[in-house]
Structure 1
Amino acid sequence: MARLGELERAVMDVLWNTPDPVAATRIVEELAREHSPAITTILTVLDRLGRKGFVTRERHGRAYRYCATTSRAELIAGTMLEALGTTSDRRSALVHFAGSVSQEEKALLRELLEDTPANPSNA
């Protein structure tokens, strides 16, 4: 899974927080408070995100509007699974992870694991 740079994450945040397709000019307006990017910079970032598979675009008149291809939660889950895939000792990694989450998160994980059928491909 491709990694996101700081400006890419900021652009994705705008897309994730907006339910409808977003014009690049709107992204510039949203980011102006923190980054003050030029429209050409945002268009380059959107093109890069499209090549990485994070963004799709659709034509609206003479311009494009952009949408995220995946939710923030799906991206985070994929990143976590990718990280687990880099070790031969998944148990230790999971032990460290479980030891670092709050009691509420542990309870939620237990609940989710009880409600989720086992995935035979991960066995």
Structure 2
Amino acid sequence: MRRLGDLETEIMHRLWQWNRPTTVREVVDDINLRRPVAYTTVTTVISILFHKGYVVRTREGRVWVYSPAASREAYAAALMEDGLEASDDRPAALVKFVENMSDDEVAALREALRTVRQRPER
């Protein structure tokens, strides 16, 4: 999975945050509160996100509404997995990753490991 571009990230941030089907107009209007962006530009980028599988769309009347295809956490996990795949030595890459974590992040990682270990085997 490749990292999203700047405008793709802005769009996905809104879709994840709002957690409801959203029109291009709503996204454009919200971005325009902070900086100018053309409706056609957002339409093009959200269409690209759809074709790449990052968003799903359904028709409501005459307009498309968009929702994330996966959670922000699933996206972040896929990026981390890609980062690990870039190394020939996954354990060493994990060590480097953990070395850069804050104490709170390490505690969260420990809790995540406990949670995974407690799950029944599939």
Conserved? CA contact 1:21–1:65, under 8 Å? yes
1:14-46 deviations in Å (ceiling 9; x for gaps): 101112100100000110133311111111001
Q: What is the distance in 2 between the residues matched to 1:85 and 1:20?
A: 33
Structure 1 gaps, min length 5: 119-123
- The residue number in structure 2 matching 1:46 is 46
1:33-72 deviations in Å (ceiling 9; x for gaps): 3331111111100110011100111111111110010111
- The residue number in structure 2 matching 1:121 is none
The runs of at least 4 aligned residues of structure 1 exceeding 3 Å deviation read none
Q: What is the distance in 2 between the residues matched to 1:32 and 1:50?
A: 22
Residues 1:20 and 1:115: Cα distance change in structure 2 (over 3 Å): closer
Q: What is the distance in 2 between the residues matched to 1:114 and 1:25?
A: 43
- The residue number in structure 1 matching 2:63 is 63
How many residue pairs align between the two structures? 118
The normalised TM-score by structure 2 is 0.90
Q: What is the distance in 2 between the residues matched to 1:97 and 1:65?
A: 38
The normalised TM-score by structure 1 is 0.89
Structure 2 gaps, min length 5: none
1:16 lines up with 2:16 in the alignment: yes
- The residue number in structure 1 matching 2:84 is 84
Q: What is the distance in 2 between the residues matched to 1:85 and 1:66?
A: 31
Q: What is the distance in 1 between the residues matched to 2:27 and 2:12?
A: 9
